Structure 1
Amino acid sequence: MSATTVAARARGLLLLGLCLVLVGILAAAVLGVARSAGPVSARRVADGTGGPVDLRAVPADPPAPAPGPDASTGRVRVDCGRNAEEHYNQDNLVVSPGLPGGAHHTHSYVGNLSASARSTDGSLAAATTTCRGGDRSVYYWPVLRRPDRPAARPYERSAGHGNTGAILREASVAIEFLGNPVSKVVPMPRFLRAVTGNAVAATARDDSLVRARWGCASLPDRGTTSYPRCPPGDPITRTLLFPSCWNGLDTDSPAHREHLRFPAPNGVCPAGTFPVPALRLSLAYDVPAGAPLALDSFPEQRHGPKTDHAMFVDVMTDTAMARVVECLNSGRTC
């Protein structure tokens, strides 16, 4: 073997040794970082935001605008129970009608007991309902889970897409229709579709569509778009307010938002729209202190609390809606 060949092999062995040393150093560094970081908490994995917010440290909301002389100051409450019937599915009849499983996460329903992706106006009008007084409207929202608890029921296991764990049952569900602080309201058209919130808020370019409001039952004057930390024994709340300025023409629109818009902070509706009853859903949950939470969502949204959203289909009869409007415009509580 020539001296040249021996020298070349020596250089090759030297380079290989250096590479092995560098790989070892890099691996040790990565391992050290991982160890120093410590374990990732279940809550951090669940909410994708780094943890809950102590609501007692959140500033109180600014006062609501004083009602004007033409305000509709009444309030109507509809009792539809709290889904004791276990009406759950992965459909979204407003956003993806005709597509079973189109939501990719599980929704909880009250009201119309037939609601599914295959629902039509006719099938909704003919169905039974959980609401007292016969309101057949559809009210629904994504479920809230405890990822530290196993899913035991079929409807808890059927969503997939990273939505796992036991579903937290609502301790209470309040459905209210409110008026407008500057104007009388006009009736909603039957079969109006409505959406509030942004299901893809975690990856959206801005928060313009975010309507999530999480809170604590004893602190109704403050809210957050994060999971809240509440005083001991205090239920966690979700409040979902729907747009209430209607274009006067359509019951739906291509993106399900153009026909219904939110009023300005002072209550004034955008030009070309008319105030209709403002739907507000208020959900409460009994959650043990420190329990991790995970809102059902699309996988890339990482269960982010600001992706909270809800949908509504008005199936009230024209007579029932007229009673709602009359109550709101006369300033009564019904």
Structure 2
Amino acid sequence: MGRNTRKRRSSMATKAVAASAALALGGGGLIWANFYASAHESKSGQNATKAAQAAAQVATISCPDVGQKLTNVPNGARQGVATELANLDKQITEAYARLASTRQAQANDSGFVQNAIVGPLKEKRAATIDRIRINIQRAGGQFDSALSRLAACQTQTTNQTDAGQGGQDGGGQQNDGGGQQGGNGQQQNNGGQGGNGPVAADFVDITKVQGNAQLGVGQNGLAANGRSGSRGTFTTSCGTNGNDNHNTDNVIVAPGVTNGAHHLHDYVGNQNNDAFANDQELAGADTSCQNQGDKSSYFWPVLRLQDGSQDFDQNNDGGGKEGNVGRILQPSQAQLKFVGNKRGKVVAMPTALRIITGDAKAFVNGTGNANVNWSCTGFENKVQLEDKYPICPQGSQVVRTTNFQSCWDGQNIDSANHRTHVAFVQADGTCANGFKAIPQLQVRLVYNVPAPKIQNGQVVNPYAVDTFPENLHKPITDHNDFINFFSTNLMNKMVNCINTGKKCR
């Protein structure tokens, strides 16, 4: 398998398109089919109404996440299992695309979704899960037969997808149809410029949200750097991806699989991170960090402004073909800071340690692994949002803050589900038995985003984070990734700075 080509934005990246250019997935890249016919054609108008009703009934597909359940995969089976897990993601993506492009058939046949989409998807998933079993058993591992029951998927209606979106009271308006396309006022099936979100219910005016959290409270260990223990900090400056280093791979979750993420990532630090990079290549790569001893890879899903414009990947996998559309926004700031543990000293991270924080599939998986903080400059110590995008007042910028797990099992640089080798601190700030405190990475991304407007229950010019298409660009899906390639000397400097209470760069 050949190396994929790293993509760069073209000079035509932000060229606006007419609203009438919206096509079904596989044609022009958008996953919304325009069923709104001319008003004088009564039959077509009736069909359009049926199609709109069908769209309101079924919004997305929800499938159990098999990868999260795999906690013990032999090393000899990991590549094969990773490939099959990527196949499961691809199957869901294809099924969602079929769901989004067959609204008329759904309106005409109440059994269409089950018979033509969900049923065949279950069969494909069952075969893939069985191949995972074979990979594990061939390598001498044990396969949990209960995983075979994860083949079946469910559909979620629009009402179900809106349910739970009001957990943080901010006066956000609910919306069952959502979004606008361009300037002709036609509604889309499920909101957003790409037809798969966001919708008005995903946004809230931050000035109307009651103060809900200090930055430093909660499951994600934000208060790790307290008044005792290791109080120093180490900041690394790696730029804001001004060289447009993007791809839709994920070398942690889907090594060797092109478009394993099904959405686009920003990369800072290591410049050789794609699906095919091994540890030796990453260790020898160039870095965008000012301190050349930091060749770590920091990557997160891009943020886009859905203002009717297109970017370089409009017709690409992981981009417009999968509902990730609009103009990519480069952060105005990307702050990368490592802090300590409030109860004791930290130890050095091992080379090539991989950490994923947050859950790219949290909208369909549930929020068990979610780790999201959305806010605005000037409000960060008052309001931190999880399931809403903030609408910031004039002069204020959108902020994404992510705080990584800061306890390590002391042995593994990765785990089968990419989670169990690291953990957040316990309620008292200590690491669980057998785990060691390591420097906690805190990533703060700041963006200049034109404030969206809510008009007649619809969001105009929304912004959204890239997602797997079936996750509908929900803010709860934000996530962040890190692979440690600090030099030994620089890592030791970091640990010393943190443990002695210094502020270093």
For normalisation by structure 2, the TM-score amounts to 0.57
Q: Is 1:59 aligned to 2:211, yes or no? A: yes
Mapped contact 2:311–2:325 kept (Cα < 8 A): no
Partner of 2:389: 227
Runs of 4+ off more than 4 Å? 62-66, 154-158
- From 184, 195, 209, the counterpart of 2:345: 184
Partner of 2:262: 104
Mapped contact 1:89–1:155 kept (Cα < 8 A): no
User: C-alpha displacement at 1:61, in angstroms?
Assistant: 2.0
- From 21, 41, 44, the counterpart of 2:179: 41
Q: Per the alignment, in what secondary structure is the counterpart of residue 253 of structure 1?
A: coil
Mapped contact 2:177–2:199 kept (Cα < 8 A): no
Q: Which amino acid aligns with 2:307?
A: D
Partner of 1:139: 298
C-alpha separation in 1, matches of 2:323 and 2:491: 40
Partner of 2:58: none
User: C-alpha displacement at 1:303, in angstroms?
Assistant: 0.4
Mapped contact 2:311–2:328 kept (Cα < 8 A): no
**Residue deviations 1:71-108 (CA, integer Å, cap 9, x gap):** 10111110000001100000001111111111111000
Which piece of structure 1 moves more, 266-275 or 60-69?
60-69
Mapped contact 1:127–1:136 kept (Cα < 8 A): yes
**Residue deviations 1:19-74 (CA, integer Å, cap 9, x gap):** xxxxx9xx79x68x98xx997334954325713122232314246669364x1011
C-alpha separation in 2, matches of 1:323 and 1:49: 47
Partner of 1:218: 378
C-alpha separation in 1, matches of 2:177 and 2:199: 15
Q: Could you say if the C-alpha distance between residues 287 and 124 of structure 1 is closer, same or farther in structure 2, counting changes exceeding 3 Å?
A: same
Mapped contact 1:182–1:268 kept (Cα < 8 A): yes
Tell me the C-alpha RMSD between the 2 structures.
Answer: 2.4
C-alpha separation in 1, matches of 2:231 and 2:314: 40
Mapped contact 1:214–1:224 kept (Cα < 8 A): yes
Q: Could you say if the C-alpha distance between residues 300 and 183 of structure 1 is closer, same or farther in structure 2, counting changes exceeding 3 Å?
A: same
**Residue deviations 1:274-324 (CA, integer Å, cap 9, x gap):** 100000111011011224012111111000000000111000011111100
Q: Per the alignment, in what secondary structure is the counterpart of residue 470 of structure 2?
A: helix
Partner of 1:260: 422
**Residue deviations 1:118-143 (CA, integer Å, cap 9, x gap):** 11110011110000111100000001
Q: Could you say if the C-alpha distance between residues 49 and 274 of structure 1 is closer, same or farther in structure 2, counting changes exceeding 3 Å?
A: farther
User: C-alpha displacement at 1:268, in angstroms?
Assistant: 1.6
Q: Which amino acid aligns with 1:212?
A: V
Q: Per the alignment, in what secondary structure is the counterpart of residue 223 of structure 1?
A: coil
Rg comparison, structure with higher value: 1
Q: Per the alignment, in what secondary structure is the counterpart of residue 284 of structure 1?
A: strand
Q: How many residues align?
A: 303
C-alpha separation in 1, matches of 2:272 and 2:330: 20
Q: Per the alignment, in what secondary structure is the counterpart of residue 124 of structure 1?
A: helix
Partner of 2:479: 309
**Residue deviations 1:211-250 (CA, integer Å, cap 9, x gap):** 0110001112121011011121211010111101000000
Q: Could you say if the C-alpha distance between residues 38 and 202 of structure 1 is closer, same or farther in structure 2, counting changes exceeding 3 Å?
A: closer
Mapped contact 1:108–1:140 kept (Cα < 8 A): yes
Q: Could you say if the C-alpha distance between residues 168 and 157 of structure 1 is closer, same or farther in structure 2, counting changes exceeding 3 Å?
A: farther
C-alpha separation in 1, matches of 2:487 and 2:395: 40
C-alpha separation in 1, matches of 2:478 and 2:285: 28
Identity score, percent: 35
Q: Is 1:271 aligned to 2:441, yes or no? A: no
Partner of 1:170: 331
Q: Could you say if the C-alpha distance between residues 241 and 106 of structure 1 is closer, same or farther in structure 2, counting changes exceeding 3 Å?
A: same
Partner of 2:120: none
C-alpha separation in 2, matches of 1:170 and 1:188: 27
- From 367, 371, 380, the counterpart of 1:207: 367
Runs (5+) with no aligned partner, structure 1: 1-23
Partner of 1:297: 467
Q: Could you say if the C-alpha distance between residues 92 and 49 of structure 1 is closer, same or farther in structure 2, counting changes exceeding 3 Å?
A: farther
Q: How does 1:24-35 map to 2 (within 5 A)?
A: none
Q: Could you say if the C-alpha distance between residues 142 and 277 of structure 1 is closer, same or farther in structure 2, counting changes exceeding 3 Å?
A: same
For normalisation by structure 1, the TM-score amounts to 0.84
Mapped contact 1:88–1:107 kept (Cα < 8 A): yes
Q: How does 1:243-258 map to 2 (within 5 A)?
A: 243-258=405-420
C-alpha separation in 2, matches of 1:142 and 1:73: 30
Mapped contact 1:157–1:164 kept (Cα < 8 A): no
Runs (5+) with no aligned partner, structure 2: 1-42, 54-174, 181-189, 218-222, 453-460
Q: Could you say if the C-alpha distance between residues 126 and 162 of structure 1 is closer, same or farther in structure 2, counting changes exceeding 3 Å?
A: same
Partner of 1:285: 447
C-alpha separation in 1, matches of 2:204 and 2:427: 25
User: C-alpha displacement at 1:151, in angstroms?
Assistant: 1.6
Q: Could you say if the C-alpha distance between residues 312 and 155 of structure 1 is closer, same or farther in structure 2, counting changes exceeding 3 Å?
A: farther
